[in-house]
Structure 1
Amino acid sequence: MDEFTRIQTFVKVVETGSFSAAARHESSTSSVARQVKSLEDELGVRLLNRTTRSLSLTEPGRVFYERACALVKDLNNAKLAVSSFQDDVKGLLRVSLRVSTGTTIIVPALPALLEQYPELRIDVSLTDERCDLVAHNIDVAVWIGHIPDSNMIARRLTPSQRIVCGAPAYFRRRGVPQVPADLRRHACIVYNIPTHRHAWTFSKDGQHEEVEVQGALRSDNGLVLLSAAQAGLGLIVVHEWMVRLPIAQGQLVRVLADYAVNPTVGDADLHVVYPSSRGVSRKVRVFVDFLLQLFQGQAAAGAAAAPARQ
């Protein structure tokens, strides 16, 4: 029997006035008596005066009882404080987000969540790399593509496809492309990283067409591409979920909607992931539900937005 259990038992004996009352619903009278006797032997003093009819504290027993009560109370308060983190949405939540997704979609929506849960604090890190969540003490992450790790719990936030879009001002100046080949006469903003070629592939009715594109601006940062397109500098290929809100607000317009764009580049579905090795706290569940609702709302907004006339 551990020391603190014996102390708790001693306090209960004093509060109830007998070994039998302290043992009720939890243990036997003999077990309670043995715990108190073991505590006395360890301390080297008698804590209780025992008669056949009553128990009373000795002088050292009274001193020990007063300190023990404070100790038991502190532990109970500590347990309540910790358990409240499971029941209430409070404390620090460490989140890893993709740069573009976090900046343009998730972070702007956080005020509503934090207003609902004022005791929640969120530590956001932005990276397009998949780090080890357990090693980096991350509670929740948003990743793109296939999730192969069986040690992770993954919820798909949204399926995705790649689309071509641009600003209304751009189309007023340059016209709307009707077929992929028209892009050769348009300014195209290219994602300039080694794994991406400066050619966009289109598929329709089983037919595939690759178009070499060019323009005045290239970048290895998705936010730069998005900002440039909104400024009217040209057309971009982008994940559909990245531009749902700008399209719904009329800042961007989708074109060539009848074609699948870059269908062989890879899975672009967006997932929220968290370690399966940890107990899932309520703050994690609340944040996951918040993301699911956020992307469901944006999907509805995106479905209501019409593409440019072609």
Structure 2
Amino acid sequence: MIQMRLNEIAAFVEVGRRLSFVRAAEQLDVHVSAVSRAVNALEGRLGVRLLQRTTRRVGLTEAGRAHFLRCEAVLAELQEAESAASALGGALRGTLRVSAGSGLGLTHLTPLLPRFLERHPQLDLDLHLSNRNVDLVEEGFDLAIRIGALSDSRLVARRLGDSRRLLVAAPAYLDAQGTPRRPDDLAAHAALVLEVGTMTSRWVLQRRGADATVRVRTRLRSNHALALLDACRAGVGIALLPQFIVGADLEAGRLVRVLPSWTAAEQGIFAIYPGNRFIPAKVRAFVDFVEEILRPVAQAPAAGAKKRRAPRRT
């Protein structure tokens, strides 16, 4: 009896999350008719309609919205209890689905993932690297690592570190094309543009409370920071890239800061996960691991900040 009720609640919650019987069935790995029977049984037992069904859409009724929140909390508490028991037993189990940006993922996460998997040998990791902001609830992710503001009210965020974009170029490029002295000078240079957000052809820079907006001449545009990093190393142009991407190249002298007193606005690096009352132990463990990775990055000074002299003209 208890198991039957839990199955009904689980089916109802998945339909309520996805507003689709078909997608709920896919997530639960059962036939859509089983989901429909479970929801019908729950509505019959409660004597109230929880879902408004039409041929084109599914929606929650007023009673359904109230019951959905309570049922979601019940399932989250049960999941937390099981995770806590596993943690006390010394092992996290199951599969953890994570979405992360490509640049941060490839430079800082993937090199150290073997360490995380070694710590938790019974936990499997499903990592998706993409600059697309996935829908965690709709697509079944446990958490995402993102840079920038949180816009989905169904989610909660934990700040793990800070990200600031710096202007950088290869020494050879500056020797050939000259070194900008003011933000306005950037308009005459080849720009390597990271395609994030809107108005990507305009760089908004800050210095001690002052702002400068420059419309740049885009030589290369990409949604992948590492593609721009390669082009920047090769002397194709000036790039505005996150410090965690360019830090090693600045330290090694392969790149140098351009207009070192100017940067883009600081953004937070966040762990984003569904806003349930309880956080599964496997999610908490991975978030703690990522924070551990990013701590030295957040504490590192802006390398290569020493101003580079413009080449003397003869």
One-letter amino acid of the counterpart of residue 159, structure 1 = D
- Give, in angstroms, the shift of residue 165 of structure 1: 1.1
Is 1:274 paired with 2:286?
A: no
| 1:155-194 superposed matches below 5 A | 155-191=158-194
Give the conservation status (yes or no) of the 8 Å contact 1:190–1:219. yes
Give the direction of change, closer, same or farther, for the CA distance of 1:82–1:111 in structure 2 (3 Å limit): same
Residue 233 (1) aligns with residue 231 (2): no
> Could you give the per-residue CA deviations for residues 166-215 of structure 1, whole angstroms, max 9, x where no partner exists?
23443344443332233244322134578224232334455544333225
Q: CA deviation at 1:163?
A: 1.8
- 114, 124, 129: which one pairs with 2:127? 124
TM-score of the pair, normalised by structure 2? 0.61
Distance 1:190 1:151 in 2: 32
CA distance in 2, matches of 1:108, 1:97: 14
Structure 1 residue 122: Cα displacement: 1.0
What one-letter code is carried by the residue in structure 2 that aligns with 1:273? I
- Alignment-mate amino acid for residue 304 of structure 2: A
Q: Which residue of 2 aligns with 1:22?
A: none
- The alignment covers a number of residue pairs equal to 230
Q: Once the 2 structures are TM-superposed, how far is the Cα of residue 219 of structure 1 from its aligned partner?
A: 3.0
Residue matched to 2:289: 290
Q: Match of 1:229, SS? A: helix
CA–CA separation in structure 2 for the residues paired with 1:213 and 1:252: 20
CA, structure 1 residues 293+194, in 2 after alignment: closer, same or farther (shift >3 Å)?
closer
In the alignment, what sits opposite 1:305? 303
Give me the whole-angstrom Cα distance separating, in 1, the residues matched to 2:92 and 2:99. Answer: 19
Structure 1 residue 154, shift from structure 2 partner: 1.2
Q: Distance in 1 between matches of 2:288 and 2:83?
A: 24
Shift of 1:275: 1.9
Residue by residue over 1:19-47, the C-alpha shift from the partner in whole angstroms, topping out at 9 and shown as x without a partner, is xxxxxxxxxxxxxxxxxxxxxxxxxxxxx
- For the residues of structure 1 that align with 2:165 and 2:236, how far apart are their CA atoms? 19
Contact residue 215 and residue 234 of structure 1 kept, 8 A: no
- CA deviation digits over 1:72-101, x for unaligned, max 9? xxxxxxx99994366423432110112222
Correspondent of 1:94 among 90, 93, 97: 97
Q: How does 1:1-310 map to 2 (within 5 A)?
A: 83-84=85-86, 87-191=90-194, 195-204=198-207, 207-214=210-217, 216-261=219-264, 263=265, 268-277=267-276, 279-300=278-299, 302-303=300-301, 305-310=303-308
1:199-237 deviation digits (Å, cap 9, x = unpaired): 323344555443332254233443322221133221111
Q: Structure 2: how far apart are the matches of 1:283 and 1:88?
A: 10
For the 8 Å contact 1:114–1:120, the answer to whether it is kept is yes
Q: CA RMSD in A?
A: 3.4
Uncovered stretches (5+) of structure 2, i.e. residues with no partner: 3-80, 309-314
**How far apart, in 2, do the equivalents of 1:150 and 1:199 lie?**
29
* Deviation, structure 1 residue 106: 1.6
Q: Give the whole-Å Cα distance in 2 for the aligned partners of 1:202 and 1:80.
A: 48
Post-superposition CA distance 1:221-258 (Å, at most 9, x none):
43322221133221111233433344344443322121
Structure 2 SS opposite 1:189:
strand
Distance between the aligned counterparts of 2:209 and 2:84, measured in 1? 58
Superposition deviation, residue 282 in structure 1: 2.7
Tell me, yes or no, if the aligned pair for 1:255 and 1:308 is still in contact at 8 Å: no
CA contact (8 A) 1:97 1:127 kept: yes
How far is the alpha carbon of 1:107 from its aligned partner?
1.5
Contact 1:248/1:304, CA 8 A, preserved across alignment: no
CA separation of 1:153/1:257 partners in 2, compared to 1, >3 Å: closer, same or farther?
A: same
Aligned to 2:16: none
| Structure 1, unpaired ranges of 5+ | 3-78
CA, structure 1 residues 170+159, in 2 after alignment: closer, same or farther (shift >3 Å)?
Answer: same
- The letter for the 2-side match of 1:84 is S
Partner amino acid for 2:148? G
Note the alpha carbon deviations across 1:50-82, whole angstroms, 9 max, x for none. Answer: xxxxxxxxxxxxxxxxxxxxxxxxxxxxx9999
> Residue by residue, what CA displacement relative to the aligned partner does 1:239-298 show, whole Å, maximum 9, x if unpaired?
33433344344443322121243x4xxx73221112232743332222101111111112
d(CA) in 1 for partners of 2:185, 2:82: 66
> With structure 1 as the length reference, what TM-score do the two structures score?
0.62
